Amino acid sequence: MAIWKSIVATAAIAATVVDAGTLAPRNGYKSLVDSKSLRKQIKTEALKKRAETLQDIAYSTPGKNRVIGSEGHENTVKYIQKELGQFPDYYTVELQGVELSIGVSANLTANDKTIEVYAVTLAPSGHVSGPLVAVPNLGCEESDFTESLEGKIAIIYRGTCEFGIKVGLAVSKGAIGVIAYNNGEGTLEGYSLQKFEDPENPYVPVGGISQGAGEALVAQLEAGQEVTVDLTTVTNVATSYNVIAQTKGGDQENVIHLGGHSDSVTAGPGINDNGSGTSSLLEVAAQLTRYAVKNAVRFSWWTAEEAGLLGATYYVSKLSPEEKQKIRLFLDFDMMASPNYAFQIYDGDGSAFNSTGPPGSAEAEAEFTHYFADIAAVNHTEIEFDGRSDYGPFLEAGIAAGGIACGAEGIKTEEEEAMFGGAAGVPYDVNYHEDGDTVNNLNYEAWIEMTKAIAHVTAVYARSFDSLPPKNSTSLQKRAARYAQFKQTKRFQKWV
Ligand SMILES: *[C@@H]1O[C@H](CO)[C@@H](O)[C@H](O)[C@H]1NC(C)=O
Ligand SMILES: *[C@@H]1O[C@H](CO)[C@@H](O)[C@H](O)[C@H]1NC(C)=O
Ligand SMILES: *[C@@H]1O[C@H](CO)[C@@H](O)[C@H](O)[C@H]1NC(C)=O
Ligand SMILES: *[C@@H]1O[C@H](CO)[C@@H](O)[C@H](O)[C@H]1NC(C)=O
Ligand SMILES: CC(=O)N[C@H]1CO[C@H](CO)[C@@H](O)[C@@H]1O
């Protein structure tokens, strides 16, 4: 059973070709956008209002969040659409449906004893029963699956690779179900396999349990006991939407693409993570309408980032080679207002972390550096360009990328305290993925600076791509292959 497919595309992106040197007639009498003018339109009050709206959207629903599949997320998408709908002459707005199998509820017994369990997103509904087998190590490698799992249920530890990889390997060995157990505190409510199913090797029901419950089961198996489990999962197959808006004016063959995500985790309203990115992009998109552009500007609000970059992955998978060529640069914006912030730029040139992006990524980093150092006159740091947010799928496709962030669960260093103020030894955002991620805990000073940085790059690239390498300097395939090679050398451990 395929659990995802595109079902809706309400409007195609306009395919008008405009000479790069002239303004499209649609731009009317507006003056060409420039960094300083656009930045001047970005006001804290407007950002604050948007954050409050997103929080109201979350709090007016039973779950008090904006997680995919919830009313809160649906209303977030409607809000974005409504805001963009105010500019029908300026933007073409597209909704791209992504079908997701979202975990609803589950029951689990082991030798007739009940264990608290959650249905894992992207896995199907089902009822399975059989002997439990512990998979050694982390289950990320084929070599972890030595014995046949025919008719059995595998129990696998969380971590290191996407859980979908583990389930795929277990299924190829014949497993009829999988129990995932946590590698940290808390339950696996809202957990996702983070990777779309391979239609050739469809997923089986997956239940997520706590670390303690998982360790107890594994200990029983190691002691030679037989454990029979009975797992029922209920998932709801629902369509979740990416919102994509593109200027009607500007060269449609050369596009600057800016994106953030529209969903939150289950735990809270997700106002910094990443309601701040959602709001910043909306505000820049709204203010941009005052101006003309030379290059087309595309904004995206991705669904299901928290469940494994699913919205952005799906979007990139649907782009034709020609469409990929048109995206000169993709820029990612998340966590724009962390209370204990640092101004972080993705290390697109590899100078800090030795991992470079496709040609254009280094230039994007340089543009952000120029903004923070010369225009805003504030300090900045670099963060690893590892593809762990929505820009990952773009890198994999060979598209140049960049972005900025204010920090998530990482700990501020002494050096950063000297650079940005705040408190060393404390996470950038103590409320990361918690119910305290609300409008009261945003750093508005950081947020306005970050949003102005977005306005700056939007204006710069809407005017010209002269600072980027020529479009065809290296083929997309070559760039993608290089990134794939780099990924092989790394272990991706953060959010899986
Ligand atoms: C789980 O068990 C409860 C209590 O026995 C029952 O009400 C519920 O319908 C069951 N749900 C599933 C998914 O089987
Ligand atoms: C940087 O990465 C390349 C390729 O991944 C590797 O060959 C090289 O040794 C690395 N350099 C440093 C300084 O780590
Ligand atoms: C930048 O960081 C240095 C410490 O590295 C600090 O002395 C300086 O005040 C900071 N500048 C600004 C504008 O915050
Ligand atoms: C760039 O590539 C496209 C197709 O991939 C091709 O049509 C175009 O002529 C190339 N342009 C240059 C300057 O090589
Ligand atoms: C899961 C999560 O935290 N979502 C993203 C929010 O923004 C940060 C910073 O860009 C990303 O690293 C996260 O992946």
pLDDT, tens digit (0-9, with 9 covering 90-100), for 250-299: 999 999 999 988 766 655 555 555 467 788 999 999 999 999 999 999 99
Neighbours of 201 (CB within 10 A): 11
How many angstroms from the chain centroid is the CA of residue 182?
21
Q: What does the block give as tokens for 317?
A: 């998978």
Contact in structure between 329 and 410 (CB atoms under 8 Å): no
As beta bridge partners, residue 180 has 156, 208
The predicted pLDDT at position 9 comes to 33
Neighbours of 216 (CB within 10 A): 15
Average pLDDT, the chain: 87
Q: Which atom of ligand 2 is nearest to the CA of 350?
A: 1
Residue with token string 């977030």 = 76
Look at residues 56, 457, 496 and name the one whose alpha carbon lies nearest to residue 275.
Answer: 56
Portion of the chain with pLDDT greater than 90, in percent:
62
Q: Which atom of ligand 2 is nearest to the CA of 486?
A: 5
The predicted pLDDT at position 434 comes to 62
**Quick one: average pLDDT of 93-107?**
93
Classify domain 35-90+248-487 at the CATH topology level: Aminopeptidase (3.40.630)
Q: Enumerate helices (H) and strands (E) in the chain, giving the number of each.
A: 13, 14
How many angstroms from the chain centroid is the CA of residue 211?
26
Q: What's the one-letter identity of residue 108?
A: L
Q: Is residue 305 annotated as a catalytic residue, yes or no?
A: yes
Maximum average pLDDT range among 59-63, 373-377, 440-444, 476-480: 373-377
Q: Do domains 35-90+248-487 and 102-236 have the same CATH topology?
A: no
Tell me which of 74, 305, 367, 416 is the catalytic residue: 305
Task: Give 241 Cα–ligand 5 centroid separation in angstroms.
Answer: 19
Task: Give 477 Cα–ligand 5 centroid separation in angstroms.
Answer: 27
Look at residues 456, 458, 374, 467 and name the one whose alpha carbon lies nearest to residue 36.
Answer: 456
Maximum average pLDDT range among 219-228, 436-445, 463-472: 219-228
Q: Which atom of ligand 1 is nearest to the CA of 105?
A: 13
**For residue 436, what pLDDT band results from cuts at 50, 70 and 90?**
low
What global pTM score does this model have?
0.84
Domain boundaries, the chain: 35-90+248-487, 102-236
Dist. CA 395–CA 413, nearest whole Å: 29
> What CATH number does domain 102-236 carry, 3.30.450.20, 3.40.50.720, 3.50.30.30, 3.20.20.210?
3.50.30.30
Residue located nearest, by CA, to atom 13 of ligand 4: 472
Quickly list H helices, 223-371. 277-288, 310-317, 321-326, 361-370
The predicted pLDDT at position 284 comes to 97
**Quick one: average pLDDT of 345-367?**
91
Residue located nearest, by CA, to atom 3 of ligand 2: 354
More confident residue, 496 or 420: 420
How many angstroms from the chain centroid is the CA of residue 26?
33
More confident residue, 4 or 57: 57
Q: What's the one-letter identity of residue 56?
A: D
Dist. CA 39–CA 43, nearest whole Å: 9
